[in-house]
Structure 1
Amino acid sequence: MSLNVRVIAPDGITWEGSAESVTIPTPGGEMGILPGHASLTTSIDTGVMTIRNGSHPIAICLMGGFAQIEGDEILLLSHGSQLGEQIDPATAQADLEAAQNQLERASNSSERSRARATIRQAQARLKAAGGMATT
Structure 2
Amino acid sequence: MALEVHVVTPEREVWTGEARMVIARGVEGEVGILTGHAPMLIRLAIGALRIQRDGEDVLSVVDGGFLHVTSSEGTTRVDVLAPSAALAAEIDLEWERRRVAELEARTL
- With the shorter chain as reference, the TM-score category is 0.7 to 0.9
Q: What is the TM-score when the length of structure 2 is the normalising length? A: 0.86
After superposition, the C-alpha distances for 1:68-118 in whole angstroms (9 at most, x for unaligned) are 101111111111111111011222222223333333x2xxxxxxxxxxxxx
**Displaced runs of 4 or more, over 6 A:** none
- Listed as ranges, the gaps of 5+ residues in structure 2 are none
- For residues 34-53 of structure 1, the aligned pairs below 5 Å read 34-53=34-53
5 Å-filtered alignment, 1:1-40, equals: 1-40=1-40
- Aligned-pair identity in percent equals 25
Shift of 1:9: 0.4
Unaligned runs of 5+ in 1: 106-135
Deviation string 1:17-48 (CA, Å, 9 cap, x unpaired) is 00000011210122111111111011111111
In the TM superposition, what are the counterparts of 1:1-135 in structure 2 within 5 Å?
1-71=1-71, 72-103=76-107, 105=108
Q: Give the number of the structure whose residues are more often strand, by fraction.
A: 2
Residue matched to 1:119: none
Relative contact order (C-alpha < 8 Å, sep 6+): which is higher?
A: 2
Task: State how far apart, in whole Å, the 2-side matches of 1:82 and 1:95 are.
Answer: 15
Structure 1 or 2: larger helix share? 1
* Structure 1 counterpart of 2:102, one-letter code: A
Give how far 1:8 is off: 1.2
User: Once structures 1 and 2 are overlaid, which stretch shifts more, 89-98 or 18-27?
Assistant: 89-98
What is the rounded CA distance, in whole Å, between the counterparts of 1:64 and 1:84 in structure 2? 16
